[in-house]
Amino acid sequence: MATGRTHRPATRSRGIPEATVARLPLYLRALTALSERSVPTVSSEELAAAAGVNSAKLRKDFSYLGSYGTRGVGYDVEYLVYQISRELGLTQDWPVVIVGIGNLGAALANYGGFASRGFRVAALIDADPSMAGKPVAGLRVKHTDELEAIIEDNGVSIGVIATPAGAAQQVCDRLVAAGVTSILNFAPTVLSVPDGVDVRKVDLSIELQILAFHEQRKAGEEALAAPARPAPAVRGGTAGGKGPDGDVPAVMPA
Amino acid sequence: MATGRTHRPATRSRGIPEATVARLPLYLRALTALSERSVPTVSSEELAAAAGVNSAKLRKDFSYLGSYGTRGVGYDVEYLVYQISRELGLTQDWPVVIVGIGNLGAALANYGGFASRGFRVAALIDADPSMAGKPVAGLRVKHTDELEAIIEDNGVSIGVIATPAGAAQQVCDRLVAAGVTSILNFAPTVLSVPDGVDVRKVDLSIELQILAFHEQRKAGEEALAAPARPAPAVRGGTAGGKGPDGDVPAVMPA
DNA sequence: TCATGTGAACATGTTCACAGCA
DNA sequence: TGCTGTGAACATGTTCACATGA
């Protein structure tokens, strides 16, 4: 998504491709599971299967980190866990604030995987004064007034936005002004941020729409073969002969 | 993510690039906002700004759908809303089930944007018998036993998994066996599915790790200039002399 | 005149296939 | 012998820059 940097064309050998970075957490998870089962080594084939990618891709990904494998043998699990953790910056402690403690914010706060790997919820922040002081996931919710102080005092550089769409940009601006340089946005809005600030977004609605696109394709291809399952009814019912959509305008300009 | 299809190399002009598909929901959202403000037309420049992309990309994206603009003028808002909705399959009604009604599942069920655009929550399903019958987001939670019947009866083709990681693959298998062909996975696991089934995943932990990677980079670059803000403390604190990590092994083989 | 639509150049990402090393 | 590491081929995605047509 929005990568703030000036995007220099891989100045030295230091540049790990973005696509690779996005897969490192996947490898790390698979490796951690192996580590817990005390498996000493894995082949690229096995690890790739566990991470849900193909082995050529995995080997190429690892080649950007260095030559951490042993030919004819595979990779040392513990060593790889360490190298990937370090590369991802998980040997540091990252305090995180969550802003917007509604249903979703509370769910995120309660999410276990949060604390496990280098991330620590420094504070939960909400604009509703009646939320302030209430315990959520073992923390007391703070009021938005305290946002700047919390970020400063805890050296927070990562913020999670789980507010309604309308409040997101404003919250984002305050986070950035207070020193946050990475934002994970759950609100269904495009955030604008200055250069040097990274934003990643998680959007249920977008994901569903992408799935719907592919579903529709499948339904089309199905028509070539047998109509196996009852296809989802076209809006407004199967029978209707005329324009069925109450939602989608039938406007046709030009 | 996992695109089940055989990936034919754009047989006819029909193939819309995946990257474009992923942006269509963004355009649609921006257009819907314009539509609500009764704006009749937009230029690629304006719409691109609203969607957070550049205008060349937007125009190329739209060119895959057809020539829906007017040279020297721009795009008709209502018309584009309709075309994109249709392309995404949002003129159909998509019944969806959510499996796993914990904190996250409940938050998803309550999420408004769900129902708005063609998606309808057909059922909430949980394995915990004590959850069965409880009202969440205006629906009564069903027990897992009913999963197959619900999917069949409602013609559900899209399933959302919000269970713990351990249960996800099993739930996935049952969904697929019952006829679901698109899955949105919130559980932190790699799901394996047969060909023809699409999986998209949403993973908080992965997103945070990607942000941490870039944060770490920034901290490194910062060292070249002035150490402006106190960098996040290395795990275990600044003082501690011995190995601080209960989590990351300091193993160094070979 | 002005903004769309698009070929061509460029950049990134993936896969193949095999050389090279334990 | 067997698996890693990687150059080279291929595929996808992005940006440029301008011809085109309302």
Q: Give contacts of B211 with chain A, Cβ < 8 Å.
A: 158, 182-184, 198, 200
Nucleotide nearest to B68 (CA to C1'): C4
Minimum-distance CB partner of A213 among B26, B89, B214: B89
Q: How far apart are CA B57 and CA A158, in angstroms?
A: 29
Q: Give contacts of A26 with chain B, Cβ < 8 Å.
A: 190, 206
Q: How far apart are CA B252 and CA A74, in angstroms?
A: 15
- Write the CB contacts of B140 (distance below 8 Å, at least 6 apart in sequence): B124, B132, B133, B134
Task: Give the residue from chain A lying closest to B119, CA to CA.
Answer: A208
**How confident is the model over A216-243, as a mean pLDDT?**
51
Q: How far apart are CA A168 and CA A189, in angstroms?
A: 7
- According to DSSP H, which parts of chain A are helical? 18-36, 44-51, 55-65, 77-88, 103-110, 113-116, 147-154, 165-178, 204-222
Q: Two tokens at B120? A: 């309808």
Q: What is the pLDDT of residue A117?
A: 77
Q: What proportion of chain A, given as a percentage, has pLDDT over 70?
A: 80
Q: What proportion of chain A, given as a percentage, has pLDDT over 90?
A: 77
Taking only residues 165 to 224 of chain B, the set having a beta carbon closer than 8 angstroms to any beta carbon of chain A reads: 179, 181-184, 188, 190-192, 196, 198, 200, 202-216, 218
Q: How far apart are CA A57 and CA A59, in angstroms?
A: 5
**How confident is the model over A204-228, as a mean pLDDT?**
83
The answer on pLDDT for B13 being more than 60 is: no
Q: What is the pLDDT of residue A190?
A: 98
**Contact present, B182 and B159 (Cβ < 8 Å):** yes
Q: What is the pLDDT of residue A41?
A: 98
CA of B40, C1' of D17: distance in angstroms: 29
Paired residues of B234 in beta bridges: A92
The answer on pLDDT for B197 being more than 60 is: yes
Nearest CA of chain B to the CA of A23: how many Å? Answer: 9
The answer on pLDDT for A252 being more than 60 is: no
Q: Confidence band (pLDDT; 50, 70, 90) for A215?
A: very high
The answer on pLDDT for A154 being more than 50 is: yes
**Contact present, B127 and B143 (Cβ < 8 Å):** yes
Average pLDDT, chain B: 85
Domains and CATH numbers, chain A: 18-88 (1.10.10.10), 94-204 (3.40.50.720)
Q: What is the pLDDT of residue A234?
A: 40
- According to DSSP H, which parts of chain B are helical? 18-36, 44-51, 55-65, 77-88, 103-110, 113-116, 147-154, 165-178, 204-222
Q: What is the pLDDT of residue A113?
A: 73
The pLDDT tens digits of the residues spanning B203-250 come to 999 999 999 999 999 987 766 665 444 444 343 332 322 222 222 232
Is any Cβ of chain A less than 8 angstroms from the Cβ of B52? Answer: yes
Q: What is the pLDDT of residue B225?
A: 60
C-alpha pair distances (Å), B181 with each of A226, B96, B120, B172, B239: 16, 11, 16, 10, 54
The pLDDT tens digits of the residues spanning B134-176 come to 999 999 999 999 999 999 999 999 999 999 999 999 999 999 9
Q: Give contacts of B250 with chain A, Cβ < 8 Å.
A: 82
The answer for B52, left when phi > 0, alpha when psi is -120 to 50, beta otherwise, is left
Q: What is the pLDDT of residue A220?
A: 78
Q: What is the pLDDT of residue A13?
A: 46
Q: Confidence band (pLDDT; 50, 70, 90) for B115?
A: low
**How confident is the model over B50-55, as a mean pLDDT?**
98
Q: What is the pLDDT of residue A225?
A: 60
The answer on pLDDT for A229 being more than 70 is: no
Q: What is the pLDDT of residue B2?
A: 38
Nucleotide nearest to B47 (CA to C1'): C3
CB distance under 7 Å to strand C: residues: A 7, 9-10, 17-20, 54, 56-57, 59-60, 70-73; B 42-45, 55-56, 59-60, 62-63, 67-75
Q: How far apart are CA B94 and CA B71, in angstroms?
A: 36
Q: Confidence band (pLDDT; 50, 70, 90) for A222?
A: low
Q: B179, B211, B172, B205: which is closest to B2 by C-alpha? A: B172
User: Phi/psi of residue A75, each to 5°?
Assistant: -115, 145
Task: Give the residue from chain B lying closest to A251, CA to CA.
Answer: B79
The pLDDT tens digits of the residues spanning A36-85 come to 999 999 999 999 999 999 999 999 999 999 999 999 999 999 999 999 99
Q: Do residue A104 and residue B107 have CB atoms under 8 angstroms apart?
A: yes
Q: Confidence band (pLDDT; 50, 70, 90) for A138?
A: very high
Q: Residue at minimal CA–C1' distance from C7?
A: B60
Q: Confidence band (pLDDT; 50, 70, 90) for B67?
A: very high
Minimum-distance CB partner of A209 among B90, B91, B93: B90
- Write the CB contacts of B17 (distance below 8 Å, at least 6 apart in sequence): B64
CA of B40, C1' of C2: distance in angstroms: 18
Q: Residue at minimal CA–C1' distance from D17?
A: B56
Q: Confidence band (pLDDT; 50, 70, 90) for A14?
A: low
Q: Which of B20-34, B110-124, B230-244 has the lowest mean pLDDT?
A: B230-244
Q: What is the DSSP letter of A34?
A: H
CA of B64, C1' of D20: distance in angstroms: 18
**How confident is the model over B183-199, as a mean pLDDT?**
97
Other Cβ atoms within 10 Å of A113 Cβ, number: 15
The answer on pLDDT for B74 being more than 80 is: yes
Nearest CA of chain B to the CA of A47: how many Å? Answer: 12
